Structure 1
Amino acid sequence: MKLTRHENNPIVVPGGAEWRRAAVFNPGVVEADGKYYMYERAAGSLRPFRTSIGLLESEDGVNFRPVADEPVFTADMLGFPGGSVEDARVVRIDGTYYMCYALQPYRFDCWPTGTGLPAYYPDNYPEWRENGVEPMITRSGIAASEDGIRFTPLCYTTPAEIDDRDNALFPEKIGGRFALLRRPMQYVGEKYGTNTPGIWISYSDDLFEWTEPELVAVAENPEWEGTKIGAAATPVKTDRGWLVLYHGVDAHSVYRVGALLLDLDDPSRVIARIRDPIMEPETYYERFGLVLPNVVFPTANVMVDGLLYIYYGCCDASIGLATVPLYELLDALTGGEDRA
């Protein structure tokens, strides 16, 4: 099972406004009223490496143009001037847009190393020490909007004291409750049932109070997902289960894409999983990036005439698009089970 890269890749690149001139990546995308709205993560520099969420739109899901001259969501809106908001995953439920985001509250620098992971350097900025926050810790939350443009912070979905990101909200309630995939980095060890960070799930009646997370999936294939896995794009409801694309990271910090199915009524239960990655870095824009090489990182899914459009970040530098017929992917997961 392999995905097809779009011939125009990368479909979105940095440039233009000062706040997005260094990098654009890891977008959320939602289709509404005949248009596709992309919520890109954008950086204007590496020193400091501050990111915000910008908005683009498209009629065909491929050719995007900016909607606004300024970001639509920033850390300033959360009371953290100089901080970063990252990796928007957006769904529309009952007419309201909900944006899952990750927050790093203070500034830091980002340095290429040429050896895989970049060097994140917060020591130039005293805010971390002054506020007693562990450097580079990331908290997640949800912002809401009625028009998809003006977002208001709604709630935090994770505690401030742990590093918990890769939050993805299911696009509809399950059993009358909101459901959210998470990746708490500190939840490892015998107590948690996993030796590496994995995918967890929490539920809420109102988006403000969340249940303690339950473990959903852990790394199973050390050769490509041995150090951690996390939810990638927003779950997609199918007649066979909730389709979840996830990212796996190996010992050399190479990011690949896996796929699994969760039970429709009990999404804490994995019912199918493909053993091998369905996508890995191959092209130049996926292997050579501004700070981080060898990364394909999908953060959005949209169904278009039977094709699953998968939007992904390329090496923390640009945005690509890959497609796959939905039922080819489901057949690969379930062995060609009859369609309901």
Structure 2
Amino acid sequence: MIQVIKEGILLKKTNHNFENEGVLNPAAIRDGEHVHLLYRAVRIGNHSTIGYCRLDGPLFIEQRNETPLLSPEMDYESHGIEDPRIVKIDDTYYLTYTGYDGVNALGCLATSTDLVNFDRKGIIVPQITYEEFNDLAKENATINEKYFRYNQHEHIIEKDGVKMLVWDKNLIFFPRKINGKLFFLHRIRPEIQIVVGVETIEELTPEFWRNYFLNFNDYLVLTPKYKHEISYIGGGCPPIETEFGWLLIYHGVHDTLKGYVYSACAAMLDLDNPQKEIARLPYPLFYPEFHWELKGEVNNVCFPTGAVVFDETLYIYYGAADERIACASMNLQELITELMLNKI
């Protein structure tokens, strides 16, 4: 077993209007000896913006803004900007997040060169109804029956005059191009999917997604396997490049008598072909056990979304009970060694 140190709560909600209900699920990226945290800030009424905090090293707060870094501007994010992740590819930051308009929750992209000014690229995941998705995905193969359970929206076709779409969240780019092309993860419950080898975001047209869904099973990266993740899984932190492959910290969910329990999990993907899973921990990396993880806006949640490495120690930032931000640390090499003992 890997020794995991729960470093405790890093950020709590404040009296500022934009984050008086909770702070959670931060994007994290290291810049020299500093870490930039771009976190989901929730105000009363469940409206989300993106807050900003800079750390000196992995754990010490150096600066925390008193106003949002990013607020909703577009119709597709009118009810909230949620659950950001961030990578830097060449000289550009890729900030992905879930845009929520009060009806649909879909993966969006904004880019920046300075973490101050952001260029919104809009929704980049498919905008498709469940019926359309199901018809395409089943044309050439059988798909997991849980797609029906999680994406039918209780058979509601339209809400407030807006068509109900398949929710496609947890949009996460790989932190560098692979063979000169962009790769990213996304999640239509209950599994994690991948988009491989696009030259530009403009390639993600309706026709692209149609062809993608016709071969849907080819793009499944991870599917629920073990007890702690059996209900569904989703992307967590951006993949971390190691000599053995891409280390992926993701979240796994299982249903219990007390409701869903969210845990942090770990897998390894092939370095040159990240469609291929090569190893996975058969147990959660860490799970809710302390009061700040067990009780909150949503109980029993450890939801990892950002990670950095300092001196061979991996620091994972996560939303704890959907109300506060905490950090867990572990030796990176120990984690890799343990993973490689559990090859697929």
Pairwise TM-score range, normalised by the shorter structure? 0.7 to 0.9
Report the counterpart of residue 179 of structure 2 in structure 1: 175
- Where 1:159 maps in the other structure, the secondary structure is coil
Corresponding letter in the other structure for 1:208: E
Select which of 311, 326, 337 maps to 1:331. Answer: 337
Q: Does 1:243 align with 2:247?
A: yes
CA distance in 2, matches of 1:3, 1:295: 20
CA distance in 2, matches of 1:35, 1:258: 26
Identity of aligned residues (%): 30
Select which of 304, 309, 323 maps to 1:303. Answer: 309
Corresponding letter in the other structure for 2:318: Y
Q: Quick check: which one's helix share is greater?
A: 2
Corresponding letter in the other structure for 2:282: R
Report the counterpart of residue 273 of structure 1 in structure 2: 280
Report the counterpart of residue 100 of structure 1 in structure 2: 96
After TM superposition, give the deviation of residue 224 of structure 1 in Å.
1.4
Aligned-residue CA RMSD in angstroms? 1.8
Q: Does 1:4 align with 2:4?
A: yes
- Where 1:250 maps in the other structure, the secondary structure is strand
Report the counterpart of residue 201 of structure 2 in structure 1: 207
Select which of 164, 174, 198 maps to 2:191. Answer: 198
CA distance in 2, matches of 1:69, 1:51: 15
- Deviating beyond 4 angstroms after TM superposition, the runs of 4 or more aligned structure 1 residues are none
Structure 2 counterparts to residues 104-119 of structure 1, below 5 A: 104-106=100-102
CA distance in 1, matches of 2:69, 2:166: 26
- Where 1:327 maps in the other structure, the secondary structure is helix
Q: Does 1:73 align with 2:70?
A: yes
1:220 to 1:336, Cα distance in 2 relative to 1, 3 A: closer
Contact 1:155 1:207 in 2 (8 A): no
Report the counterpart of residue 290 of structure 2 in structure 1: 283
Report the counterpart of residue 132 of structure 2 in structure 1: none
Report the counterpart of residue 188 of structure 1 in structure 2: none
TM-score by length of 2: 0.80
Select which of 220, 223, 231 maps to 1:227. Answer: 231
Corresponding letter in the other structure for 2:195: S
CA deviation string 1:74-120 (max 9, x = no partner): 222x24574101111001111211101001113xxxxxxxxxxxxxx
After TM superposition, give the deviation of residue 35 of structure 1 in Å.
1.8
CA deviation string 1:267-319 (max 9, x = no partner): 00001111111111111101011x21000010011011111110000010000
Corresponding letter in the other structure for 1:241: G
After TM superposition, give the deviation of residue 41 of structure 1 in Å.
0.3
Q: Does 1:264 align with 2:258?
A: no
Structure 2 counterparts to residues 123-138 of structure 1, below 5 A: 135=103, 137-138=104-105
Structure 2 gaps, min length 5: 128-164
1:313 to 1:272, Cα distance in 2 relative to 1, 3 A: same
CA distance in 1, matches of 2:39, 2:117: 15
CA deviation string 1:100-150 (max 9, x = no partner): 1001113xxxxxxxxxxxxxxxxxxxxxxxxxxxx3x21111101111122
Contact 1:35 1:58 in 2 (8 A): yes
After TM superposition, give the deviation of residue 34 of structure 1 in Å.
3.2
Report the counterpart of residue 143 of structure 1 in structure 2: 110
CA distance in 1, matches of 2:14, 2:65: 14
After TM superposition, give the deviation of residue 154 of structure 1 in Å.
1.9
Contact 1:100 1:167 in 2 (8 A): yes
After TM superposition, give the deviation of residue 70 of structure 1 in Å.
2.1
- Where 1:64 maps in the other structure, the secondary structure is strand
Report the counterpart of residue 137 of structure 2 in structure 1: none
Contact 2:280 2:342 in 1 (8 A): no
Corresponding letter in the other structure for 1:85: I
Contact 1:84 1:103 in 2 (8 A): yes
After TM superposition, give the deviation of residue 201 of structure 1 in Å.
0.1
Report the counterpart of residue 126 of structure 2 in structure 1: 159
Corresponding letter in the other structure for 2:4: T
